[in-house]
Amino acid sequence: MGFKKNRIKLEDIANKLNLSIATVSRALDQNPRVKQSTREKVIQTANDMGYMPNQIAKSLSSGKTNIIGVIIPRYDEPFFIEVCRGIDHYVSTHNYKILISSSRNSFDSEVENLASFERGLVDGIILSPTHETKTFSHIKNVINAGIPVVLFDNIIEEMHGADHVLIDDKKAAFSAVEFFIKKGKKQIAFIGGAKEKKVFKDRFEGYKEALNTYNIPMNQNLILHCNSLDRKSDNIEINSFFNSPQIKPDAVFTCTDNYGLLTMKTLLKLGYKIPEDISVIGFGDLGLADVFVPSLTCVAQPSFEMGQKVAELLINQLSEPENINHQKKVITLDTKIILRESTP
Binding string, residues 32-51; x marks residues near DNA by CB under 7 A: xxxxxxx------------x
95 binds DNA (CB under 7 A): no
Pick what 211 binds: DNA, a second copy, none; C-beta below 5 to 8 Å, kind-dependent.
none
Task: Note whether 16 binds DNA by CB under 7 A.
Answer: no
Give DSSP secondary structure letters for 216-227.
PPP-GGGEEE--
CA–CA distance, 65 with 54 (Å, rounded to integer): 11
Minimum distance from CB of 36 to a second copy (Å)?
26
At residue 36, what is the residue type? Answer: Q
Residue 98 binds which of DNA, a second copy, none (CB < 5-8 A, kind-dependent): a second copy
> Taking CB within 5 to 8 Å according to partner kind, which of DNA, a second copy, none is near residue 188?
none
Q: Which residue lies nearer to DNA by CB, 57 or 293?
A: 57
Q: Does 29 bind DNA (CB under 7 A)?
A: yes
Phi, psi of 167 (to 5 degrees): -115, 165
Q: Which stretch binds DNA (CB under 7 A): 52-60, 184-192, 254-262, 284-292?
A: 52-60
| Interacting residue with DNA among 30, 47, 62, 323 (CB under 7 A) | 62
Tell me the CA end-to-end span of the chain in Å, nearest whole number: 59
Decide if 307 contacts 87 (C-beta within 8 A): yes
Residues that bind a second copy (CB under 8 A): 1-4, 7, 52-57, 59-60, 63-65, 67, 75-76, 78, 81-82, 84-85, 88, 97-102, 115-116, 118-124, 145-148, 231, 235, 258, 261-262, 264-265, 268-269, 287-288, 290-293, 318, 322
Going by C-alpha positions, the residue among 180, 187, 195 that lies closest to residue 217 is 187
How many angstroms separate the CA atoms of 96 and 89, rounded?
A: 10
- The stretch near DNA (CB under 7 A) out of 58-66, 80-88, 168-176, 205-213 is 58-66
Write out the H or E segment, with its range, that includes residue 238. helix 231-243
Q: Does 18 bind DNA (CB under 7 A)?
A: yes
CA 180, 171, 301, 113: dihedral to nearest 10 degrees?
-140
Selection from DNA, a second copy, none that 29 binds (CB < 5 to 8 A by kind) is: DNA
CA distance 169 to 211: 16
Count of residues of this chain found to bind DNA when the rule CB under 7 A is applied: 33
Burial of 94 (0-12, 13-18, 19+ CB in 10 A): middle
The nearest distance, CB 103 to DNA, in angstroms, is 25
**Binding of DNA by 81 (CB under 7 A):** no
Cα 130 from Cα 111, distance rounded (Å): 10
Of 39, 31, 32, the residue nearest 13 (C-alpha): 39
DSSP 8-state symbol, 278? -
For residue 202, the minimal CB distance to a second copy (Å) is 26
- Which residue lies nearer to a second copy by CB, 53 or 218? 53
Binding partner selected for residue 300 from DNA, a second copy, none, CB under the kind-specific 5 to 8 Å limit: none
Contact 137, 107 (CB under 8 A): no
Min dist CB 36 to DNA, Å, is: 7
Rounded to the nearest whole angstrom, what is the least distance from the CB of residue 50 to a second copy in the complex?
Answer: 8
- What DSSP assignment string belongs to 157-203? GGGGGSEEEEE-HHHHHHHHHHHHHHTT---EEEEE--TTSHHHHHH
What, of DNA, a second copy, none, does residue 20 touch, CB below 5 to 8 Å by kind? DNA
Give me the residues that bind DNA (CB under 7 A), please. 5, 7, 9-11, 14, 18-23, 25-26, 28-29, 32-38, 51-54, 57-58, 60-63
